[in-house]
Amino acid sequence: MCVKNLVKHYGHKKILDNVNLTLDEGEFYALMGPNGSGKTTLVSIVASVIPADEGSVRIYGQDHGKSLVSYVPQEHFSSPLLTGRETLCYFAQLQGFSRQNARSLTEPILETVGLSDEANNRVATYSGGMRKRLEVGTCLFPGTKLVILDEPTTGLDPVARREFYRMISTVSEEGKTILLITHIGEDAELAHTVGFIHEGTIIAQGSPYQLKKQSNLHQVVTVEPTVPSEHVASILSSFSVSEQILETESGFRLYCNDAKTTIPKVMRALESQRIHLSTCTVEVPSLEDVFFTLTRRQVSV
Amino acid sequence: MSQVYATVEKMVKEFFRDKVNLFFTLILPLFFVLVMPILWGDVPQTVIPVLKGGLTLTMISFLIMIGGQSNLAGSIAADRGRGLYTKIASMPLSPVKEGTGRILGIFIYICVGAVILLAAGLISGGKISVHSMHLFMSIGCYFLIALSSTGIGLIIASLVKGESAATHAGIALTLLTAFMGGLFLPYHMLPRIFQFFARVHPITSANAAIVYLLEGECVSYYNPLQPAQMGITIVLSVILFTSGMILYSKHC
């Protein structure tokens, strides 16, 4: 897939600004960025759902690769009144397969997505994870080369997310190219290549390892004060690399080169202000940390 | 062809599995056909079979209205709300085939419902003329009702966002049209302005034509088969359907 100089406006607002992106056959690419960064707009253009204002998208050399691309939007698009088998059969026929072929194609796909036992139950009885796996199943018909997944794990619990990505790994190993849209660093870690999109532009890309290495982030100290305090952020920022700290729901993440020497200094500084900590841990940097240090913008909390 | 067939199959299955749909489209008209005659206490016994026949024919029109204006609109709005159209837009599927499948789906649903209602009406003692030419013309009029109703349903689906809002808008419009157009009241009892509405609205006009053809003027209370009125009915039905299709292809 080759995206060249893609530009898209909504009214006067520029959503995509000269985006260039290339995916090789069989590659698993995760595009990561916060809400409103242009991720969904980009994949909507690639999937031929909306037109671009400028630029081109070529898939296997074709301008309109509808028969080669399969898109799973964010929402649950499957009908709750149909069964899992009927849903796959319906989409296979929409894809152009005959009724007879559609029926025979659904069986191996149901197995791949792990829904063979639930195939005759209505989608209304499925959990969020099962429903999403079924919807990914609509992308696995023969002929599909590129699978686009738009924030597929939103709303899934950790177990369902793990099951989901186990299935995606199988699909990737089968040779399908995957373009995953996400704002969750942990999900993006599974990809071969990760691209960061910010304000309609791809600002960095590479393997998760390369991105972390290039960011020069060595260690992350997570600090959770017992009582929220306005002073904590300003105290912590003086100990963090480039004075950057990421505020999370329960505390803060500060970036340092040597946690062993930084932590005692942080503790002393906080205790002098009578601020006590409930937790203080050392972690390796995540892709969210890398994105934050590149843009000073929080990807997810 | 398999794309049209797949859409038809999906629509029919969804309609018959949705209990709310079934209630408003089938159970409610069936209730009227079976229960309403009980309230005709003073009506002479000799007239009752004809009146029951007229009521059955009118309830078939009502069923078509609900199916087209409410069920179709609600189904499209639901599919749009859950992102099915986003998914479909990325697939190698022609919008004409998808739209055709949807309309054929609702036609099949309506036909099955009409056969059930007709059977219930006849079993409960309703009498209908079996003159072949009249039957043929009546089927044509039902087709006009289906055309207008699906057209209105497509317009509602295109303009009203949300499944619940589209479904309720369709039901409200159906009830309003039915009351104003004489589906629930004899034509001679309607105020003059509503009598005019009943003659101009393609659905109520076509329904009056069916009742006139199969039961006679004693039930329809006027002759709707005037060239001008039938001309307006046909033209408006085609306009409503075409407008619906244009709006649907633009907004859905």
Q: Which residues of A touch B79 (CB under 8 A)?
A: 79
3-state secondary structure chain A: CEEEEEEEEECCEEEEEEEEEECCCCCEEEEECCCCCCHHHHHHHHCCCCCCCEEEEEECCECCCCCCEEEECCCCCCCCCCEHHHHHHHHHHHCCCCHHHHHHHHHHHHHHCCCHHHCCCEHHHCCHHHHHHHHHHCCCCCCCCEEEEECCCCCCCHHHHHHHHHHHHHHHHCCCEEEEEECCHHHHCCCCEEEEEECCEEEEEECHHHHHHHCCCCEEEEEEECCCCHHHHHHHHCCCHHHCEEECCCCEEEEECCHHHHHHHHHHHHHHCCCCEEEEEEECCCHHHHHHHHHCCCCCC
Q: What pLDDT is stored for residue B118 in this prediction?
A: 95
For residue A275, give the nearest of A230, A245, A216, A217 by alpha carbon: A230
Task: Establish, for the pair of chains A and B, how many residue pairs have beta carbons separated by less than 8 Å.
Answer: 78
A49 vs B79: CB contact, 8 Å cut-off?
no
The predicted model scores a pTM of 0.85
Residues of chain B with pLDDT under 70: none
Query: Min CA distance, B47 vs chain A (Å)?
Result: 44
Instruction: Give me the residue label for tokens 């009582």.
Output: A227
Chain B residues in contact with A47 (beta carbon < 8 A)? 89-90
B89 interfaces chain A, CB cutoff of 8 Å:
yes
**For A73-96, what is each residue's pLDDT tens digit?**
988 999 999 999 999 999 999 999
Subunit contact B10:A79, Cβ cutoff 8 A: yes
In the chain, the amino acid numbered A301 is V
Nearest by CB to residue A76, choosing from B6, B82, B89, is: B82
Closest CA to B210 of B157, B162, B120, B143: B143
Of the candidates B13, B87, B89, which has its C-beta nearest A82's C-beta?
Answer: B13
Q: Which residue among A74, A81, A93 sits closest to B18, beta carbon to beta carbon?
A: A81
Contact A79 B9 (CB under 8 A): no
Q: A300 to chain B, minimum CA–CA distance in Å?
A: 24
In this predicted model, what pLDDT tens digit does every residue of A30-52 receive, in sequence order?
A: 999 988 899 999 999 999 999 99
What is the per-residue pLDDT for A297?
56
ipTM score here?
0.86
Query: A188-235, pLDDT tens digit by residue?
Result: 999 999 999 999 999 999 999 999 888 877 888 888 888 776 778 888
Task: Indicate yes or no: CB of B91 within 8 angstroms of CB of A94.
Answer: yes
Contact B79 A69 (CB under 8 A): no
In this predicted structure, the answer to whether residue A300 has a pLDDT above a threshold of 50 is no
Of B14, B83, B87, the CB nearest to A81: B14
Q: Report the interhelical angle of A99-112 vs A128-137 (nearest 10°).
A: 130
